[in-house]
């Protein structure tokens, strides 16, 4: 099976330039995730192929030495793209060793086509595997389908280069040329073309996967405080309720509200109010466990979901929060803003009919009681028995009549 090698090379050049141009146009002014390194590498690779295509028409030193060196620079650039995507620093002195090595090897073996092909193929295979390994070693920073596609494309490319190097060593290639069509040449450049498409698509998908993930995270986040927003914290509560019911475990919930927050806004201004919200969130986050979750339920109201926690445990934590917030006024413009919290706590073993909205209602009722009883305090919603619909166990749990 043979195909016209110059045509295959031309296809690679045209696709590389087209993809690079698309990436450069799309990413212009907003370079991120290493896409600019990828685009530049494609252009360098295309230039290398153009020099191969001109074999016989320009000096061999240009076509052989520079053509192969540019191929090696292209793989150094792909490595740079992956490292940039992963947020790793560039190590140019190390990353540019292979291209320098390639230039020296090509000079040295200029007269021996077979050895030249073998050396160039093995060196490029090593560089491809280096990119693959960099991707693989930090899988957590590039999860998703894109990374799989890229890894697969790199693996195929490396396998093809190793096979080409071995075939060059095994067969006498004197008198042959890179532009001659034979089975190995055809396979080499067909695989190179496919690998170019697959790896580039994989890299772009990687960037897209990351953008999707960032959007998903932001959609579930409260922009001011950085904790879960109302939708996310309710979703987390639903999951915690389902898990507590399945495993017949305790769970607790706190509704935390900043006292007289309107007064903070009125006296110090809204920016100060925002700072107080962040301050309170930071203090809460410092004291909850990894499996707990805090979210902003409303203006100055926060929900804290506490899986596998008894009512008494939640009450102790709530009291700690009240104490620490009172003892740590919020720093603002060289002074301090005193802050206190009221907290309503629900905790217990759930009954099958209990739902997240009932638990919120319970914690909210207890919070109402805490406000009514003078603020800066903790009140409990339900201390015994399964939780039931409002109007039964919950009503009348306020220890102090509302004023
Ligand atoms: N700075 C700031 N203020 C907010 C934000 N969201 C809500 N608020 C304000 O929070 C205040 C809530 O006031 P109230 O519901 O009367 O509660 P309160 O003053 O804390 O009174 P109690 O809860 O009864 O102690 C209102 O003034 C809202 O404008 C926000 O994101 N930033």
Q: Is the pLDDT of residue 385 over 60?
A: no
Q: How far is the CA of 93 from the centre of ligand 1 (A)?
A: 56
Radius of gyration of the chain (CA): 32
Higher local confidence (pLDDT), 94 or 31: 94
Q: Is the pLDDT of residue 390 over 70?
A: no
33: left (phi over 0), alpha (psi -120 to 50) or beta: left
| Smallest CA separation from ligand 1 atom 29, residue | 262
> Please, are residues 65 and 106 in contact by the beta-carbon 8 Å criterion?
yes
Q: Residue 173's pLDDT band (boundaries 50, 70, 90)?
A: low
* Burial state string for 353-364 with b = 16 or more CB within 10 A and e = fewer than 16: ebbbebbbbbbb
Q: How large is the ipTM? A: 0.95
pTM value > 0.90:
no
For the ranges 3-12, 56-65, 154-163, the maximum mean pLDDT occurs at 154-163
pLDDT confidence of residue 281 = 98
pLDDT confidence of residue 403 = 28
* Number of other CB atoms surrounding residue 67 within 10 Å: 24
Nearest to 176 by CA among 105, 115, 101, 104: 115
Q: Is the pLDDT of residue 171 over 50?
A: yes
Pocket test for ligand 1, best of 299, 302, 339, 370 (most atoms within 8 A of CB): 299
How far is Cα 389 from Cα 358, in angstroms, rounded to an integer?
7
Averaged pLDDT score across all residues of the chain: 90
Q: Is the pLDDT of residue 139 over 90?
A: no
Query: pLDDT, tens digit, for every residue of 315-364?
Result: 999 999 999 999 999 999 999 999 999 999 999 888 887 888 999 999 99
User: At a CB cut-off of 8 Å and minimum separation 6, what does 144 contact?
Assistant: 205, 206, 209, 210, 213
181: left (phi over 0), alpha (psi -120 to 50) or beta: beta
Q: How far is the CA of 340 from the centre of ligand 1 (A)?
A: 13
| Smallest CA separation from ligand 1 atom 11, residue | 262
Pocket test for ligand 1, best of 222, 264, 273, 375 (most atoms within 8 A of CB): 273
Q: Residue 389's pLDDT band (boundaries 50, 70, 90)?
A: very low
Ligand 1 neighbour 224 (Cβ under 6 A): yes
């Amino acid at each position: 099976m043979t195909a016209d090698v110059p045509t295959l090379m031309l296809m690679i050049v045209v696709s590389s330039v087209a993809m690079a141009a698309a990436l450069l146009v799309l990413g212009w002014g907003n370079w991120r995730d290493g896409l600019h390194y990828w685009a530049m590498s494609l252009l360098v690779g295309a230039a290398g192929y153009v020099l191969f295509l001109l074999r016989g028409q320009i000096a061999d030193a240009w076509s052989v030495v520079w053509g192969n060196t540019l191929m090696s620079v292209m793989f150094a650039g792909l490595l740079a793209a992956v490292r940039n995507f992963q947020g790793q620093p560039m190590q140019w002195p190390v990353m540019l060793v292979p291209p320098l090595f390639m230039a020296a090897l090509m000079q040295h073996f200029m007269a021996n086509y077979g050895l030249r092909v073998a050396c160039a193929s093995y060196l490029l295979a090593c560089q491809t595997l280096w990119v693959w390994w960099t991707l693989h070693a930090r899988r957590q920073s590039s999860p998703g389908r894109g990374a799989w596609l890229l890894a697969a494309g790199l693996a195929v490319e490396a396998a093809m280069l190793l096979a080409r190097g071995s075939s060059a060593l095994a067969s006498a290639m004197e008198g042959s040329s890179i532009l001659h069509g034979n089975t190995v040449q055809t396979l080499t450049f067909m695989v190179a073309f496919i690998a170019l498409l697959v790896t580039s698509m994989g890299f772009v998908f990687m960037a897209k996967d990351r953008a999707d993930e960032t959007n998903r995270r932001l959609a579930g986040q409260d922009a001011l405080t950085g904790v879960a927003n109302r939708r996310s914290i309710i979703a987390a509560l639903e999951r915690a309720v389902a898990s507590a019911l399945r495993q017949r475990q305790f769970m607790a919930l706190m509704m935390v509200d900043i006292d007289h927050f309107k007064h903070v806004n009125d006296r110090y201004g809204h920016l100060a109010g925002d700072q107080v919200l962040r301050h309170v969130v930071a203090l809460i986050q410092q004291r909850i466990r990894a499996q707990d979750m805090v979210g902003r339920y409303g203006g100055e109201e926060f929900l804290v979901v506490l899986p596998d926690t008894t009512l008494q445990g939640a009450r102790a934590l709530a009291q700690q929060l009240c104490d620490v917030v009172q003892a740590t006024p919020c720093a603002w413009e060289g002074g301090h803003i005193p802050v206190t919290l009221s907290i309503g706590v629900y905790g217990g073993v759930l009954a099958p009919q209990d739902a997240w909205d009932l638990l919120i209602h319970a914690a909210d009722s207890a919070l109402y009681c805490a406000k009514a009883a003078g603020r800066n305090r903790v009140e409990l919603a339900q201390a015994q028995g399964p939780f039931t619909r409002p109007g039964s166990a919950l009503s009348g749990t306020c220890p102090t009549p509302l004023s």
